[in-house]
Amino acid sequence: MEMLKEKIRQEGLVPSDNILKVDSFLNHQIDPVLMMAIGEEFARLFADAGITKILTIESSGIAAALTAGLKLNVSLVFARKKKSVLMNEDVYMTDVHSFTKNETNQVTVLKKFLPAGETILIIDDFLANGEAALGLAHLVEQAGSTVAGIGIVIEKAFQNGGARLREKGFRVESLARIASLTAGEVTFVEECVQA
């Protein structure tokens, strides 16, 4: 998605070889026009997938899931992240480890908002090692619903999350794929290899 890549080139910060900061438009400050374009692109990519509901995770997934939901005309539900919660029979729950923050969160969603038999699109802002997306997929599985696809705003393609998800048979669509962040420079995966 060229508009997104251009924004990453202009405003993305690379403080180290595996960190890309995009908090000026994606996950702290938000550019609503770009976010609407992101939702439209997810809707276009998954137009044929029969999506009935979107599942994301707080906080940074909410904006993209909302605009995609608007364009796909389906509701969204955001899973909640807590350090620890009491067991509660009303929720589906899974552990998600964050390597960046070195902490494990219990991720929950109320069962009544993730019923069986739905065709779910999972959306998140970043894909690195795939922990969050796998956790969300695990919630969908517990619910007896189907993951029709995983929509990612920015995939760090030099980490193994994309491979892990695709190996499990998930359809992953990333709007920008980062090949490397070496020497403070963002390099995208080339979508088309020229002859």
Kindly tell me the burial class for residue 29, based on how many C-beta atoms sit within 10 Å of its own C-beta (0-12, 13-18, 19 or more).
exposed
Query: Is residue 62 close enough to count as binding its own copies by CB under 8 A?
Result: yes
Q: Which residues contact 89 (CB under 8 A, 6 or more apart)?
A: none
Q: How far is the CB of 20 from its own copies (least distance, A)?
A: 16
Query: Is residue 37 close enough to count as binding its own copies by CB under 8 A?
Result: no
Near its own copies by CB under 8 A: residue from 110, 116, 163, 179: 110
- Is 7 marked as a binding-site residue? no
Antiparallel, parallel or unpaired: β 53-57 and 76-82: parallel
| CA 141/CA 13 separation, integer angstroms | 36
Query: Is residue 19 close enough to count as binding its own copies by CB under 8 A?
Result: no
Query: Is residue 3 close enough to count as binding its own copies by CB under 8 A?
Result: no
Nearer Cβ to its own copies (66/175) = 66
Near its own copies by CB under 8 A: residue from 75, 88, 160, 187: 75
Antiparallel, parallel or unpaired: β 53-57 and 119-127: parallel
| CA 12/CA 6 separation, integer angstroms | 10
- Is 130 marked as a binding-site residue? yes
Contact letters for its own copies, residues 76-105 (x by CB under 8 A): xxx-x-------------------------
8 A C-beta contact, residue 127 and residue 100: no
Binding site for its own copies (CB under 8 A): 23-25, 28-33, 35-36, 58-59, 62-63, 65-67, 69-70, 73-78, 80, 109-110, 112-113
